[in-house]
A = this chain, B = another copy of it.
Amino acid sequence: MPVTVLLVDDEPLVRAGLRAVLEAQPDIEVVGEAADGAAVVPLVRRLRPDVVAMDVRMPLLDGIEATRALLRSVDAPPKILVVTTFENDEYVYGALRAGADGFLLKRARPAEIVHAVRLVAEGESLLFPASVRRLAAEYGDGSGNRAARAVLERARLTEREGEVLRLMARGLTNAEMAARLVVGTETVKSHVSAVLAKLGVRDRTQAVIAAYESGFVAPG
């Protein structure tokens, strides 16, 4: 059965774009739209979507409040994917703290958007930039190991991939990692690609950021 999605954005253009991108997928179905946060809860109750793709900046009720309202008043709430224009939007962090499962840039490429919807639908959280911060915080700051392990499990990194991420977060190049791990550089590249894909990031720089932000590695 397909992944059902509810679109919540005050701009019709954005909704149309998301719909076009998502409907092009055989396994994704857009079941409804809303133009503001106030309409979200009743719509979710009625349509029971798997995923809500929600703008943060909206009239009446913004994405943060709508997220909170959903998690509070709906049982078996849908996965919430925060949609935003800017990556450093204060609202984004607020929404993630409020319990959103991931975030998505409006200027993301269609494939990334589809990917994000599928991921959150499966229960994954999009690690970048900050959604696992909560996770790390829950485990307290002292126990870096447990936080790291939680990140591993959440992102489904294999042991080897975690090792590679750790070395990346120490500034090693692929060649240096290959030397240290006693494997070929092509092998390291494979692991790196897997890590980038699983973390939902673009390059090693963002992977390192995710590692720090999630508590997978800690300063000091």
Q: Mark A177-212, 1 if CB is under 8 A from B, else 0.
A: 000100000000000000000000111111011001
Shortest A72–chain B CB gap in Å is 24
A164 within 8 A of partner (CB): no
Which residues of A, 19-36, contact B by the 8 Å Cβ criterion? 26
Chain B residues closer than 8 Å to A137, beta-carbon distance: 220
A128: which of B26, B111, B171, B176 is its contact (CB, 8 Å)?
B171
Chain B residues closer than 8 Å to A218, beta-carbon distance: 219
Chain B residues closer than 8 Å to A109, beta-carbon distance: 220
* Contact, CB under 8 Å: B220 / A176: no
How many subunits of this chain does the assembly comprise? 2
Chain B residues closer than 8 Å to A215, beta-carbon distance: 219
Which residues of A, 100-130, contact B by the 8 Å Cβ criterion? 109-111, 128-130
A7 within 8 A of partner (CB): no
A83 within 8 A of partner (CB): no
Chain B residues closer than 8 Å to A213, beta-carbon distance: 219-220
Most B-side CB within 10 Å, residue of A130, A176, A208, A219:
A219
* Contact, CB under 8 Å: A171 / B220: no
Shortest A174–chain B CB gap in Å is 11
A60 within 8 A of partner (CB): no
Shortest A214–chain B CB gap in Å is 8
Name the CB-closest residue of B to A166: B88
| Given known A176-B26, A205-B205, contact A133–B220 (CB-CB < 8 A) | yes
A220: which of B111, B201, B203 is its contact (CB, 8 Å)?
B111
Shortest A4–chain B CB gap in Å is 17
Q: What are 14 pairs between A and B in contact, CB < 8 Å?
A: A109-B220, A111-B220, A129-B170, A168-B205, A170-B209, A171-B201, A171-B203, A171-B205, A171-B206, A204-B205, A205-B205, A208-B209, A212-B212, A213-B219
**Chain A residues close to B by CB (< 8 Å):** 26, 87-88, 109-111, 128-130, 133, 137, 168-173, 176, 180, 201-206, 208-209, 212-213, 215, 218-220
Since A26-B172, A171-B203, A212-B219 are in contact, a sample of 12 more A-B pairs with Cβ atoms closer than 8 Å, ordered by chain A residue number, is A88-B170, A111-B219, A128-B171, A129-B171, A130-B220, A133-B219, A171-B202, A171-B206, A205-B205, A208-B208, A213-B219, A213-B220
